[in-house]
């Protein structure tokens, strides 16, 4: 990974990880990916060609404030997110505006223009028609699907039915017990990466 991109991703992970959500307080039902952990996974994911920089397409099913989309946008051809709760998705732009200032002041790289976030239900066909119309990227074009322990079985079923062969399903938040999904194969050599990220391939 390019040193400037790595420095940028480190700064982004610090920015968002200071704003972690989950487990306690009024927003305890939400969960936020720890981007520092995800950063530690990147070299291996690139080495194993799970991520092919500037070629891979990415979809976060339950993107919340879009932090994973922003983080991975530097490595993706397109970074798409879907969030059911409109008020949660509304947090994206104010946070990104603050991040843009932080990166500019540090002489780091601003997020690419390849981030596209949508409000809707990730397991219903309607949202994918909207995504296709607005981005030109169809469900069957996606290389990497991602979620943080949200509707795993339903998403796995959708991937089995509609995704292209070879597509990867990443689940953040898994540890010792790896669920089995008919039609998806656990990538055992990589799961759980950093003790928390499980990967399945169609």
DSSP assignment string, 29-62? T-B---HHHHHHHHHHHHHTTSS-TTT-EEEEET
Distance, CA of 68 to CA of 9 (rounded, Å): 11
Instruction: Give the CA radius of gyration of the chain.
Output: 16
β-strands 144-148, 185-186 pairing = unpaired
Count how many residues are written for the chain: 202
Q: What is the pLDDT of residues 156-169, one digit of tens each?
A: 999 999 999 999 99
User: Where exactly are the structural domains of the chain?
Assistant: 3-201
Q: Which two tokens stand for residue 126?
A: 């309607």
Q: Which two tokens stand for residue 180?
A: 């089995």
**Band of the pLDDT at 30, cuts 50, 70, 90?**
low
Task: Please state the rounded mean pLDDT for residues 126-155.
Answer: 94
Q: What is the pLDDT of residues 111-135, one digit of tens each?
A: 999 999 999 999 999 999 999 999 9
Q: Which residues sit opposite 164 in a β-bridge?
A: none
β-strands 144-148, 57-61 pairing = parallel
Q: Is 184 helix (H, G, I), strand (E, B) or coil?
A: coil
41, 142 in Cβ contact below 8 A?
no
Give the CB-side neighbour count of residue 186, counting CA atoms within 13 A: 14
DSSP designation for 135: H
Mean pLDDT of the chain: 92
Q: What is the pLDDT of residues 180-200, one digit of tens each?
A: 999 999 999 999 999 999 999
- Taking Cα atoms as reference points, which of 107, 1, 124, 111 lies closest to residue 52? 1
pLDDT at residue 151, as a whole number = 77
Q: Is 3.40.50.150 the CATH number for 3-201?
A: yes
pLDDT at residue 25, as a whole number = 46
Where is pLDDT greater, at 33 or 27?
33
pTM, full prediction: 0.94
Q: Is 65 helix (H, G, I), strand (E, B) or coil?
A: coil
């Amino acid at each position: 990974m390019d040193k400037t991109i790595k420095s940028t991703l480190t700064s982004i992970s610090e920015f968002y990880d200071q704003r972690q959500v989950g487990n306690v307080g009024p927003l305890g039902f939400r969960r936020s990916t720890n981007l520092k952990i995800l950063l530690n996974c990147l070299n291996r994911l690139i080495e194993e060609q799970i991520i092919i920089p500037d070629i891979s397409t990415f979809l976060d099913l339950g993107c919340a404030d879009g932090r994973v989309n922003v983080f991975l946008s530097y490595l993706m051809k397109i970074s798409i997110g879907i969030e059911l709760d409109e008020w949660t998705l509304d947090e994206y732009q104010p946070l990104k505006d603050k991040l843009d200032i932080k990166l500019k002041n540090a002489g780091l790289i601003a997020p690419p223009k390849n981030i596209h976030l949508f409000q809707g239900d990730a397991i219903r066909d309607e949202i994918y028609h909207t995504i296709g119309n607005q981005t030109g990227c169809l469900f069957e074009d996606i290389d990497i699907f991602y979620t943080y322990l949200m509707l795993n079985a339903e998403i796995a079923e959708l991937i089995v039915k509609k995704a292209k062969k070879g597509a990867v399903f990443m689940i953040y938040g898994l540890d010792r017990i790896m669920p089995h999904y008919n039609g998806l194969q656990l990538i055992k050599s990589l799961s759980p990466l950093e003790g928390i990220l499980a990967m399945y391939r169609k």
